Chain A
């Protein structure tokens, strides 16, 4: 079973590597979106710092949202999703592998990129570290909760808009905990509470959503 999941992860990596445009455009979206925020407010370092946790987290959240359609749409279109259903293990295991891969490809890159582009908000060093950690442990929740929406809206006309309508309400707690962790670090209070809640959401998401996502995919394919 572990071998099966590892194969799914390797497959996703290989596909992401052969199709780098998907990742690059999502990362550039993150960079552009996060730099819109300082331009839209009163130009002062204090305002920017205040804004930073929310702005960076909202940008990461929207960037993840953009990456979600790739999760199942290509496999659905070319018929490989059907083959995954007929694989050696139930679809939920394949979904779990896909979620892990999605996190490693998109989540981890966002977490690595965010501190670099947080310079525009003039954040101090320890806040950058917390930002990195919060995105690292928070993005699995974004991947897994988003995948529910991606599976439900699969193949529908206007699916992308619908996807954001379905997924954004689910993202609210992740956003609150993530941004609050960075804010707490900025204010000099410990960020551990926020980070622990994020980790809890991510763990719960990664382990409880795959059967739901698999059920949604079965519904879609039927």
Chain B
């Protein structure tokens, strides 16, 4: 908790090419505690690629990413355990109940699991009876909500969310926005990709277009 205010992400001259086309080049930005970045742009403009670079799941052709002033290449494991990533795929096991999913995710992240707060998070996001139903039975949007509940339970300063509101109804999307705000106000950072321009009014905007 003590180091949360120090958290700082900066990106220097990041570039990516896919085959013959250059997706983005010389991308630089800084993100301090309590700040968020909204990455927008059309499909195929490189939003997901950028977010995977930021979560150290893949690596850029050029450029560097710094976490608290250190290049993440030098402290990969440490950096990876500071961030929470929500990709296109929910990372929900269909054979398990929502509570079991959350419990395993917490334990694998090296954190303690509190069933009461997990139930609370699920209820806030509108997933009832978290331990009475297998995730196989849930709809696409409900699975997404379980994945978002996981995010709110983990104690990780940097959130990297790839289209968090995909498959969600407007009410749940509003809940996501307030979740992100709560995270920011407690000193967290968030990078959110979403195609719609006006989804997150408080966030700084980064527009990706394949021509730049």
Interface residue ranges, A against B (CB under 8 Å): 3-4, 7-8, 11, 14-15, 18-19, 77-80, 82-90, 94, 221-222
Q: Using a Cβ–Cβ cut-off of 8 Å, how many residues does chain B contribute to the interface with A?
A: 29
What residue of chain B has the Cβ atom nearest to residue A19's Cβ? B95
What residue of chain B has the Cβ atom nearest to residue A87's Cβ? B108
Q: Quick check: B58 and A83 within 8 Å, CB to CB?
A: no
**B179-205 vs A: 1/0 string, CB under 8 Å?**
000000000000000000000000000
Tell me if B37 is interfacial: C-beta within 8 Å of chain A: no
Inter-chain pairs besides A11-B108, A78-B93, A83-B108, 20 sampled, C-beta below 8 Å: A4-B108, A7-B107, A15-B93, A77-B89, A78-B89, A78-B91, A79-B87, A79-B89, A80-B93, A82-B85, A82-B89, A83-B91, A83-B105, A84-B108, A85-B57, A86-B57, A87-B81, A87-B108, A94-B108, A222-B57
Q: Quick check: B85 and A83 within 8 Å, CB to CB?
A: yes
Q: How far, in Å, is A76 (CB) from chain B's closest CB?
A: 9
Q: How far, in Å, is B49 (CB) from chain A's closest CB?
A: 11
Cβ–Cβ < 8 Å partners of A14 in chain B: 95-96, 100
The secondary structure that dominates the B interface is loop
Q: In the bound complex, how far is the Cα of B91 from the Cα of A208, in angstroms?
A: 28
Q: Which 6 A-B pairs have the closest CB atoms?
A: A88-B110, A79-B89, A18-B95, A79-B91, A222-B58, A7-B107
Q: Quick check: A88 and B96 within 8 Å, CB to CB?
A: no
Tell me if B77 is interfacial: C-beta within 8 Å of chain A: yes
Given contacts A11-B104, A14-B100, A18-B96, contact A80 B91 (CB under 8 A): yes
What residue of chain B has the Cβ atom nearest to residue A74's Cβ? B93
**B48-59 vs A: 1/0 string, CB under 8 Å?**
000000010111
Q: Quick check: A4 and B110 within 8 Å, CB to CB?
A: yes
Cβ–Cβ < 8 Å partners of B58 in chain A: 221-222
Q: How far, in Å, is B14 (CB) from chain A's closest CB?
A: 15
Q: List 27 A-B contacts (CB under 8 A).
A: A7-B104, A7-B107, A7-B108, A8-B108, A14-B100, A15-B96, A78-B91, A78-B93, A79-B89, A79-B90, A79-B91, A82-B57, A82-B85, A82-B91, A86-B57, A86-B80, A86-B81, A86-B85, A87-B81, A87-B108, A88-B81, A88-B108, A88-B111, A89-B77, A94-B108, A221-B58, A222-B57
